[in-house]
Structure 1
Amino acid sequence: MKIILNHLFRGKINFILLGLLAVSVACNDDDEPDPITTEPEGQTIVDIASANDDFSTLVSAVVEANLAETLTSSGPFTVFAPNNDAFTSFLDENNLTAEELLNNEGLADILSYHVVAAEVPSSDVQAGPVNTVADRNFYVSVAPDNSIWINGNTQIIQTDINASNGVIHVLNNVIVAPSSNIAEIAIASTEASEPQFTQLVAALVRAELVEAVSGGVDDNLTVFAPTDAAFENLYETLGVSNIDEIPLATLRDVLLYHVVPSREFSQDLRQDAALPTLLDGASLTVDLANLQINDAGLVDTDLNIHATNGVIHAIDRVLLPEMEASAEVSATITLDNVGASSYVITSIDGEGASGELDTDNTSITLQSGLRYTFVNEGGSNHPLDFRDSDGNILLAQGDQEGTFENDANVAFEVDGANVTFTLTADLAEELAVYRCTAHAAMEGEIVIVD
């Protein structure tokens, strides 16, 4: 899948992930970047880089972007410096020539994203956000083997090249600040030649959660994003055809279960860690040994997709939280219609409900705290809804959105002709009538008893 990480560049940024996910938690000194502590007397960062053939592309870029004077000033600065191999990989991956890079009007911004206005030796590097001269954060991760990574796809391969005005750490990739949020990246992927997240986007839209993953840098979210194939497997398991056939409250809970309220790159994950989610009281379990989150496999080619408000990791299965079993239905009320003029009750089975049978728009008495199923034999031409005394919809069988439909305690469900809900105290306080959404004449009173 191709993700646009910056409007200045196009193409696929390959993420370097799988190897470090499989590493042991035990430290290995051989994997740590090699420190270099020699400081040629009086030589600035630019002097040192200019004398090292491995930085020739970086030096050309610094000169072209008119940053050489800044980086020869007193500073101090810390430069996270891509070597020539890093620039070569970056150019290849983004289908750019060196000339195109050097002539790019955003070159200074890209280079500034590699500079910190302070001297930060390797001993002071910690996991978390780092503000750069570009006034954009990059994010440091320390992997289980103690290797240090930036934005999930770039490793620090050499540290502590000291200069008179700061220090240089060497990178194996060029880091690029993200320009799109999680929602924008997911939506853009639906238009790719091989789309991955069309069903996820459809689910977010239906559950009205697009805004929840459209925030800014302070949101710090991690989305474990099921692929389209994962959703198709879910539909088969549930015996449904698409997102629209999954009860809305259930769908919302499932989606919230895929979002962690912290920015977790793959290098930040630890074996057996519990990750809290946006679904209250529910967490995910990390299994690095099998590259899984719960029982879903991490898709190694689509991990560490960096967004302005977090990070996306693709997974091959939809994660299902353990749902509390809904209370048993106390009574089932079957309705039929008389043309477009009225509903009639044809039967009441169970306890806690009453009303006259075969009477036009008769009042129905319900008991607060019980769970009910209404069977609407009027069909799709006469969708049933429940309203307050001002006519506001609280629950709806059809396409209308009711204000109590996402209340976990109400546990609203629509299954074909069946509409099921728990009459909570809050719902009981507002519930006044049942009505046909399409025909205002088909309306009857609801009386609540304790």
Structure 2
Amino acid sequence: MKIAFMKMIKNITAKSTFALAVAWIGLVGCKDNFTNPTAPSGATITTVASTTDSLKVYYAALNKIGQASTFNNVNSGQFTVFAPSNYAFVKYLRSLSVPNSSNFTTDSAVKYISNKVTTTSSPLTISALTTRLNYHVISTAVTTDQITGAKGFTTQQGARLSLSNVAGASLPYQINANVTSSGGGSGSNIIVTDLKASNGVIQVVDRVMAPISTANIWNSSLLNFGVTYGASVAVTIGTTTIPLDAGDSYYNVAAAPNGSTASDTTKYFLFTMALVRSGLATTIIPNGASILPDYTVFAPTDGAFFKFLGTDLSGGVAAAYTAARTAINSTDGATLANIVKYHIVSGRYLSTDLSDGKTLTTLLTDKTVKVVSKNSAWYLSGNVASTGDGKISAPDKLTNAGIVHSIQRVQVGQ
């Protein structure tokens, strides 16, 4: 009995050892599959570009700047390439006043890019071409069925772009739609969609786009203030440093510049003063953030703030600014913070993303604003009916970190 039992144990041990050995061999054989997954099959972005008739100039440009090899490597990542069409490139070369470009055809443009563009050529260098084309690449694959509302992406150039689906438009998929950019950028339409590749997707566009400014939404000319972190935190409006008020620990905007002297008062200096006075400046611009959060700002114009504050305009614009600045500076920072937060929404909302009755959640806790369509224009309706609806008079000012819409009335959330 004992001998039979020992033989059984020996057989089990031998079988187990064999099974473990087989399993180990299997694991060793699978090791590369875990650490080096099989590359996707099919044509790469470079191959797709090289075989697409409308991208002959773009393919020549890819080779010129050395990006063709990157997009031919299936292990280099997933990309969306907004590739300008042949005619888009011809228009771009004409805009640079390239010699004889008024007579350029696709073949002429290919020859110019391939043979004439160098590190020192004028008016277009390899470096300038690289910067432009890097603005047309994002490091994720986005097909048109994923483009719903406006969404911002950081490009390989460093500046950001915004994708939108504009309902009812003949070319609904747009980049930087309705741009009025503080940085002089430009937008385009996607004219050929979803050329899929093993390492991403190509969207053919009708313009060689210029990057929008890398300045953030606040430091732009739209909302003219900035925050600098260092040994101490410096907040500025324009070029004026705004000190902390020793009495209440909020920023003292008494010395802030008057702002615009134009009679139409279309600037946002008073909104900026309220934002700085409230202490939100250092919250909106986080210390050490390399990429700022996206915001949509419904910015009341100075004229709207004059009306909200009940400022007497009979003494002229300069006197009105002095009175309004004094009123803002004497208001508790927490009260101003609630007013400012009610005009800021997280995320990007172009006018094409708005619809009648749409509600947007503001930075003011648990408070929303409603979009209303009246007389072929958009209005913002707050929680306090007596303030009236604020007409969006100048929409879609796109910056590197968000969108600004001008409105003609200060809204109240509570």
Amino acid at match of 1:115: V
Partner of 1:296: 390
CA gap 1:184/1:43 in 2 versus in 1, 3 angstroms: closer
Residues of 2 paired with 1:66 and 1:137: CA distance? 22
Partner of 1:21: none
Conserved 8 A contact 1:113-1:134 = yes
Partner of 1:201: 272
Residues of 2 paired with 1:299 and 1:286: CA distance? 13
Residue 219 of structure 2: SS of its match in structure 1? helix
Conserved 8 A contact 1:149-1:267 = no
| Deviation of the 1:223 alpha carbon | 1.0
Partner of 1:400: none
Partner of 2:164: 141
Partner of 2:69: 69
- Structure 1 residue aligned with 2:297, among 223, 230, 249? 223
- Structure 2 residue aligned with 1:211, among 282, 289, 293? 282
Conserved 8 A contact 1:196-1:228 = yes
Residues of 1 paired with 2:338 and 2:128: CA distance? 41
- Structure 1 residue aligned with 2:409, among 318, 333, 343? 318
CA gap 1:42/1:112 in 2 versus in 1, 3 angstroms: closer
State the Cα RMSD in Å: 4.1
Alignment of 1:46-445 (within 5 A): 46-48=49-51, 51-52=53-54, 56=57, 58-59=58-59, 61-74=61-74, 77-83=79-85, 102-103=124-125, 105=127, 107-117=129-139, 120-125=142-147, 127=149, 128-130=151-153, 132-133=155-156, 138-145=161-168, 147-152=172-177, 153=179, 154=187, 155-162=189-196, 166-173=200-207, 174=209, 176=211, 178-185=213-220, 186-187=223-224, 196-215=267-286, 216=289, 217=291, 219-236=293-310, 241-246=323-328, 247-249=330-332, 250-288=335-373, 289-294=376-381, 295-300=389-394, 302-308=395-401, 310-315=402-407, 317-323=408-414
| Deviation of the 1:307 alpha carbon | 2.7
Residue 319 of structure 1: SS of its match in structure 2? coil
Residues of 2 paired with 1:298 and 1:209: CA distance? 23
Calculate percent identity across the aligned residue pairs: 27
Conserved 8 A contact 1:144-1:270 = no
| Deviation of the 1:319 alpha carbon | 2.0
Conserved 8 A contact 2:43-2:197 = yes
Residues of 2 paired with 1:198 and 1:88: CA distance? 42
Residues of 2 paired with 1:291 and 1:237: CA distance? 26
Amino acid at match of 2:204: V
CA gap 1:138/1:158 in 2 versus in 1, 3 angstroms: same
Residue 183 of structure 1: SS of its match in structure 2? coil
Amino acid at match of 1:270: S
Decide which structure has greater helix share: 2
Number of matched pairs: 277
Amino acid at match of 2:342: Y
| Deviation of the 1:286 alpha carbon | 0.9
Q: Which runs of 5+ in 1 are unaligned?
A: 1-38, 324-450
Amino acid at match of 2:165: V
Amino acid at match of 1:78: T
Q: Which runs of 5+ in 2 are unaligned?
A: 1-41, 99-120, 180-186, 226-236, 240-258, 314-319, 382-388
Decide which structure has greater strand share: 1
Amino acid at match of 1:274: T
Residues of 1 paired with 2:360 and 2:378: CA distance? 15
Residues of 2 paired with 1:221 and 1:159: CA distance? 28
After superposition, give the CA deviation of every residue in 1:136-166 in whole Å (9 maximum; x if it has no partner).
7644333344822334443323213356765
After superposition, give the CA deviation of every residue in 1:226-271 in whole Å (9 maximum; x if it has no partner).
2233333434468873132145234332212111123323332232
Residues of 2 paired with 1:278 and 1:121: CA distance? 31
Residue 79 of structure 1: SS of its match in structure 2? strand
Conserved 8 A contact 1:151-1:306 = no
| Deviation of the 1:96 alpha carbon | 5.5
Conserved 8 A contact 2:213-2:399 = yes
